Amino acid sequence: MNIKNRAFVLVSVVILLVNGLLLQQGISHFNDEIDNTVKEQEKIIDDVAHEILRNSYEPYLFKIRFFVEENEQIRQAFAEQDRKLLYSLSASIYRGLHGENRFFHAMDFNLPDGTVFLRVQ
């Protein structure tokens, strides 16, 4: 092999190595950009989900807590496990909450072991 061919092969190998290195860096940069974009989108989705929760769930949770804490008859009926009285006392409140939001489907009264004692629908 003469010097001209050796130089050509050497230059070709150097060019291929540089191209390979640049290609690898480009792929790495592209993957980093994808990861950053995914993280940004996840943060946006988390923020939206948090706002949905804050604007839809928490007001009803507050209303229900207030309803139970301020109504001694409800607490007494639940403590005595009187389903009929508990239902009659809470049905009108449930209808009001359901009237505000048609997606408010049920109001549960759960026992300490997690068993549903009464579901007002």
At position 60, the amino acid (one-letter code) is: Y
Task: Evaluate if pTM is beyond 0.75.
Answer: no
Please list, in sequence order, all residues whose beta carbon lies within 8 angstroms of the beta carbon of residue 116, skipping any fewer than 6 positions away: 108, 109, 110
Backbone dihedral angles phi then psi of residue 71, each to the nearest 5 degrees = -110, 100
pLDDT of residue 71: 85
10-48 pLDDT tens trace: 999 999 999 999 999 999 999 999 999 999 999 999 999
Please list, in sequence order, all residues whose beta carbon lies within 8 angstroms of the beta carbon of residue 72, skipping any fewer than 6 positions away: none
Please check the confidence at residue 1 and state whether its pLDDT lies above 80. Answer: no
Tokens standing for residue 26: 């480009």
